[in-house]
Amino acid sequence: MSTRPKILLVEDTLPLAHTYQEYLRAQPYDITHVETGGDALDQIANGSPDMLLLDLELPDMNGMEILKHLSDNEIPIPVVVITAHGSIGIAVSAMQAGAKDFLVKPFSADRLRVTVANTIEAAQLAGIVAEYREEIDRDSFGDFVGKSLAMLNLYRILESAAPSDATVFITGESGTGKELCAQAIHQYSRRARGQLVPINCGAIPEELMESELFGHVRGAFTGATQDRVGAVEVADGGTLFLDEIGEMKLDLQVKLLRFLQSQEFMRVGESKTRSVSTRIVCATNRDPHLEVREGRLREDLFYRLHVVPVSVPPLRDRENDPLILAEHFLGLYAKEERKEFDGFARDAAAAIVSYDWPGNVRELQNVIRNMVVMNPGGEVPASMLPPQIASLAPGGGSAGSLAPQTTSMPHSGNTPGAMPAGNAPDSIRPLEDMERDAIERAIELCDGNVRMAATYLEVSPATLYRKRAKWGETDPSADLE
């Protein structure tokens, strides 16, 4: 299929139409010519071109009617209008109606080529910007919540991995959301209509693990009073999630490897071979390479499972996500408890972002749930948070504190990092505030052009977009205009 830009030329004067086509013959475009506005609307309805070269004076309608049709129906086709000499006012009206540029007859071949090339390039760049805007605006995926770069990267990996049947090996600290990864992979896969069956390999007694996976027949062992269907069979047509795969005993790892190679298994106590179509997703909070080196995880099984590696970032590496998650959980649990909370005070928000969250999202979730249960509602100050978190707030987390975020200064005789006795000089400002002033001043001097400002500041544009989004004073997508 051709990837050349498609141009629709609407011109009722055939000699002129042939001339324009000849001007563009050597250019990498596919050009379709029509003579009337009605034919142009039919072409647009049957498949939008990448660009419209539109003569305003047509035998059946005025070209302005076509511009209005595009605008009313939100059809994003860039239009260059062609008008006669002495009709500049009409051309200006066409620009106000949505045209991207205009050409006044007669015009040269070079003028046409440059105008067409610039218009198509601008449209392509706008498409890239729209995709980028959608990407940076994303704040969730499946049941994940967060918009940090680490999470956006995770979302891209999960989107790519989900449609495949390849096995996925998820790593990450406890509480980061490895099971949410498995749920998202299943949800966006072709197997979504099947079941997602989770098995915690560390929570099931060793002697029952094989039966849990593959099932058993009546009488297979003491207590087996009836046939039982195993997880691999329940997940037929769906996904089996093996959490904490490193806890599985070596002899059972051999049987799992055999199943992965053939998708065939036998229930415990049965000689009949059964076949299924089950996708495997596994996870561990350990270093799998270390587990292999120390003999707790079979190397052949590891490489059979480690087809698509996915690493879930810890919460401390997720920029401003702790506050986004805290607000999400606050709304969720307040609704459950039938209470009204008005968000986080400035000191509480600062403490939540500053804390390292060693227990990751699970710890944050428990902190917010406890806080909602134990308090009546209203705005949440840092004093409602646990002491180890509240102590990170400006002013130490005292009740209702809205103290300014002044920089702590070491002082002899004081605890390192504490504010010295007396007030800090007014001329000392937080480094973050000074950085913010410098960035906003640079953007102002560059007439709002973030990319140009980033060049002068010798940082990437993405850094400025992230910082401005964190400050919350501007929509990060607006900077991409």
β-pair partners for 380: 344
Question: If pLDDT is split at 50, 70 and 90, which confidence band does 441 have?
Answer: confident
**Per-residue pLDDT at 311 exceeds 50:** yes
Give me the pLDDT at residue 252, please: 95
> CA-CA distances (angstroms) from residue 429 to 32, 69, 404, 409, 424?
63, 55, 10, 12, 9
In whole angstroms, what is the distance from residue 325 CA to residue 344 CA? 12
pLDDT digit string, tens, across residues 2-58: 578 999 999 999 999 999 999 999 999 999 999 999 999 999 988 889 999 999 889
Give me the pLDDT at residue 412, please: 39
SS3 content of the chain, % helix, strand, coil (to 5): 45, 15, 40
Give me the pLDDT at residue 377, please: 93
In whole angstroms, what is the distance from residue 93 CA to residue 87 CA? 10
pLDDT digit string, tens, across residues 156-175: 999 999 999 999 999 999 99
Give me the pLDDT at residue 364, please: 97
CB 361 within 8 A of CB 176: yes
Higher pLDDT, 96 or 452: 96
Give me the pLDDT at residue 473, please: 53
- Residue whose C-alpha is closest to residue 63's, from 41, 37, 45: 37
- Residue whose C-alpha is closest to residue 439's, from 430, 450, 426, 447: 450
- The answer to which of 241-255, 301-315, 464-478 has the lowest mean pLDDT is 464-478
In whole angstroms, what is the distance from residue 162 CA to residue 376 CA? 42
The mean per-residue pLDDT over the stretch 71-100 comes to 84
- The answer to which of 320-329, 413-422, 434-443, 446-455 has the lowest mean pLDDT is 413-422
Query: How would DSSP label each residue in 52-114?
Result: EEEESB-SSSBHHHHHHHHHHTT----EEEEE-TT-HHHHHHHHHTT-SEEEESS--HHHHHH
pLDDT digit string, tens, across residues 366-421: 999 999 999 999 999 999 999 999 999 876 655 433 333 333 333 334 433 444 44
β-pair partners for 371: none
Question: If pLDDT is split at 50, 70 and 90, which confidence band does 469 have?
Answer: confident
The two structure tokens encoding residue 329: 């959980």
Give me the pLDDT at residue 397, please: 54
Architecture of domain 142-313: 3-Layer(aba) Sandwich (3.40)
The helix (H) or strand (E) run that includes residue 169 is strand 168-171
Cα 281 to the center of its chain, rounded Å: 21
**Per-residue pLDDT at 97 exceeds 70:** yes
In whole angstroms, what is the distance from residue 448 CA to residue 94 CA? 27
Higher pLDDT, 463 or 61: 61
Instruction: Provide, rounded to the nearest whole percent, the portion of the chain with pLDDT above 70.
Output: 87
Give me the pLDDT at residue 426, please: 56
In whole angstroms, what is the distance from residue 117 CA to residue 123 CA? 10
Say how many CA atoms lie within 13 Å of 384 toward its Cβ.
26
Fold classification of 317-397 is Helicase, Ruva Protein; domain 3 (1.10.8)
Higher pLDDT, 425 or 211: 211
Give me the pLDDT at residue 83, please: 85
Report how far apart the first and last C-alpha atoms of the chain are (Å, whole number).
31
Give me the pLDDT at residue 170, please: 98
What is the bridge-based pairing of β-strands 144-145 and 279-284?
unpaired
Task: Determine whether domain 6-134 maps to CATH 3.30.465.10.
Answer: no
Helix axes 250-262, 206-214, angle to 10 degrees: 10
pLDDT digit string, tens, across residues 125-140: 777 655 655 555 578 8
Give me the pLDDT at residue 106, please: 87
Give me the pLDDT at residue 400, please: 39
